[in-house]
């Protein structure tokens, strides 16, 4: 069975930083911090100023593990207890969900919920229910 470590302080700190980053992005340039929208806009930039802030956000996401490496001398441990095939299939399914859901958990769950957007509230409830069902199936029915 897959066990998940209980890390309340790291989770709280990470959540606070994500919230702060979202608020700062909205306050400074009026944009929602949805990771898939940021990445999609980076791939097809409308203009350079739009590309620049998206690249800066992406660089910030990448720099976190690098900062941990510089401070501790090792990268954060990442364990993926499934096969590469299942990882690819899961990524494909998430991509479909992001497309049909018009955004991801960071855009809907963090920013949309904070703005009390009915569409984001519905999307976040759907994300969480689907996640709970998936974890149950993987851990208890498939026996992973």
The answer to whether 107 and 32 are in contact (CB under 8 A) is yes
Six-digit token pair at 130?
A: 């689907």
Q: Does 3 fall in a domain?
A: no
For the cut 70, the answer to whether the pLDDT of residue 64 exceeds it is: yes
Q: Does 1 fall in a domain?
A: no
What range defines the domain where residue 24 resides? 8-141
The pLDDT of 37-62, averaged and rounded, is 84
- What's the distance, CA 71 to chain centroid? 24
Helices within the chain (DSSP H only): 8-29, 35-43, 48-72, 84-100, 113-114, 118-136
Q: With a threshold of 0.75, does the pTM exceed it?
A: no
Q: Does 19 fall in a domain?
A: yes
Six-digit token pair at 62?
A: 């990448």
Q: Does 68 fall in a domain?
A: yes
Specify the pLDDT at position 107: 83
Q: Does 93 fall in a domain?
A: yes
pLDDT in tens, 97-120: 888 878 887 788 888 888 888 998
The pLDDT of 6-19, averaged and rounded, is 88
Q: Does 39 fall in a domain?
A: yes
For the cut 80, the answer to whether the pLDDT of residue 15 exceeds it is: yes
Q: Does 117 fall in a domain?
A: yes
Half-sphere exposure of 65 (CA within 13 A, CB side): 8
Tally of domains within the chain: 1
Q: Does 38 fall in a domain?
A: yes
């Amino acid at each position: 069975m897959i066990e998940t470590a209980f890390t309340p302080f790291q989770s709280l700190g990470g959540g606070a930083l994500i919230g702060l980053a979202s608020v700062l992005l909205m306050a400074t340039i009026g944009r929602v911090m949805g990771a898939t929208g940021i990445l999609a806009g980076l791939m097809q930039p409308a203009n350079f100023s739009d590309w620049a802030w998206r690249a800066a956000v992406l660089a910030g996401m990448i720099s976190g593990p690098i900062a941990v490496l510089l401070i501790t001398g090792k990268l954060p441990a990442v364990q993926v207890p499934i096969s590469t095939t299942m990882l690819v299939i899961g990524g494909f399914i998430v991509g479909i969900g992001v497309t049909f859901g018009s955004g991801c958990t960071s855009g809907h769950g963090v920013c949309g919920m904070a703005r009390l957007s009915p569409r984001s509230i519905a999307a976040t409830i759907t994300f969480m229910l689907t996640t709970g069902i998936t974890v149950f199936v993987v851990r208890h029915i498939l026996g992973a």
